[in-house]
Amino acid sequence: MLIGHQIAYRNVASKYYHCKSEDLQLAFEDFTAILERNMYHPTGDMFFALISDPTEDEMIVEIFLPIQESVFQAVNGEQIYFQSYYTIKPMVMTRITENFNQLAQDKYWELFSFLHQHDYKQRTPIFVEYKQTKNNHPYIEMGIGIYPEL
């Protein structure tokens, strides 16, 4: 676990989705397509917040996608939010470098166990960021915002 991690992006559009875990990729594709149809240019740095318990039949997620544009006009018929700056810090973070589907649930519970063992207070839902190394190897960072120590 890494303590002191942060998420920080500029010009972030976001949208809530209710979906099954196996349909999460479809939600990503839908959100990207909506933005592109409306002439926004995603940067590719997609991440999401897992709002609901992952063991439930249907998940509630907020998908975030930074865009190149610094001005955002409402998209007709869609409830999309926009923030010029999006920052979550401090966070506790863990990485998954392989077997993403198998390890994601374990890492989810590992984060909560770590918070409990170290008396950290949860401030945000779990955030999941999809990333790549310089050699194009994918990995996932899962993090949770905590209240700063006083």
Give the pLDDT confidence score for residue 142 in this predicted structure. Answer: 93
**How far is the C-alpha of 107 from the C-alpha of 124, rounded, in Å?**
16
Specify the fold of 10-84: Alpha-Beta Plaits (3.30.70)
Q: Among residues 64, 72, 26, 73, which one has the least CA distance to residue 43? A: 64
Domain boundaries, the chain: 10-84, 87-146
Alpha-carbon distance 106 to 47, whole Å?
19
Q: Which residue has the tokens 């940067």?
A: 43
Contacting residues for 18 by C-beta, under 8 A, at least 6 apart: 58, 59, 60
72-102 pLDDT, tens digit per residue, is 998 888 999 999 999 999 999 999 888 877 7
**pTM score, two decimals?**
0.89
Low-confidence ranges of the chain (pLDDT < 70): 150
